[in-house]
Amino acid sequence: MLRLLRPEALARLRPRPTVRGGGGGGNGILGTVCLALYVPFCSHGEQDQQALVALQQQMYASALLGALLGALPLVAAAEREVAVGLLSRLVLGSAHFAQQFAHLGGLHSQLLELLLHPANTAPALTDALLILCHLARVGDPSLSSGGDRGGGEVHYHYRALRVSGVCARLPPLLQHREAGVRAKVRDVGEM
């Protein structure tokens, strides 16, 4: 499935009709692959913890987050929702995925511009803001769940968040029509 998320695969799908997974950079394929990967995390999928852990280990080892981050620039803002939702589920659920998100470029300025673009759907914006809140929170040594775990990740997250210019991207979202988005923006701003 990860091969379908590579930029060259998505580019080949662009001229195809939407009903065949094409259009706008392969939007249909991105959403379909993300939904298929998200299903095990739904309430019925979470009943088999061993299978879920094995799936997460495969996702981590195959750098799924890198494939998703690489695919986001190739699709329209309205089509990012499912992919950002899957990113959020993984990053918020595991310190390993949180580190991987940061190390694979999730905090780079260009990607944050896409994740926080006002044209994104409210759920996509909320999930992106949840990721940022989480990364800031796990990087706070005063919190019992945060702190430096020996590898310097804390300082990396703070430094990466500062350098990314994330704060400059927040003011337009304070005017968003959805109250949940505005609330999450304030949470990020406080951190």
Q: What pLDDT, on the 0 to 100 scale, is given for residue 43?
A: 67
Using CA atoms, how far residue 100 sits from 28, 103, 179, in Å, is 26, 5, 30
Number of domains in the chain: 1
Task: Give the mean pLDDT of the chain.
Answer: 80
* DSSP codes joined into one string, 35-95: HHHHGGGSTTGGG-HHHHHHHHHHHHHTTHHHHHHHHGGGS-GGG-HHHHHHHHHHHHH-H
Which amino acid, residue 99?
Q
> Which two tokens mark 146?
């945060």
Alpha carbons within 13 angstroms on the beta-carbon side of residue 109 total: 7
User: Which residue's structure tokens are 């999450």?
Assistant: 184
Please work out, in degrees rounded to the nearest 5, the angle formed at the alpha carbon of residue 89 by the alpha carbons of 137 and 69: 90
Using CA atoms, how far residue 110 sits from 85, 93, 115, 116, in Å, is 19, 24, 9, 10
Q: What pLDDT, on the 0 to 100 scale, is given for residue 13?
A: 66
Check residues 27 and 8 and name the one with the higher pLDDT. Answer: 8
Average pLDDT over residues 64-93: 91
> Which two tokens mark 118?
């006002």
Contact, 179 vs 120, CB < 8 A? no
Whether 2 has a pLDDT exceeding 70, the answer reads: no
Whether 66 has a pLDDT exceeding 80, the answer reads: yes
Q: What pLDDT, on the 0 to 100 scale, is given for residue 147?
A: 43
Write out pLDDT tens, residues 125-181. 999 999 998 988 876 444 334 444 445 554 556 667 777 778 888 899 999 999 999
The CATH number assigned to the domain holding 151 equals 1.25.10
d(Cα 8, Cα 13) in Å, to the nearest integer?
9
Q: What pLDDT, on the 0 to 100 scale, is given for residue 182?
A: 93
Question: What pTM, to 2 d.p., does this model score?
Answer: 0.80
Lowest model confidence (mean pLDDT) among 34-38, 90-94, 110-114, 140-144: 140-144
Domain assignment of residue 37, given as a range: 2-190
Whether 83 has a pLDDT exceeding 80, the answer reads: yes
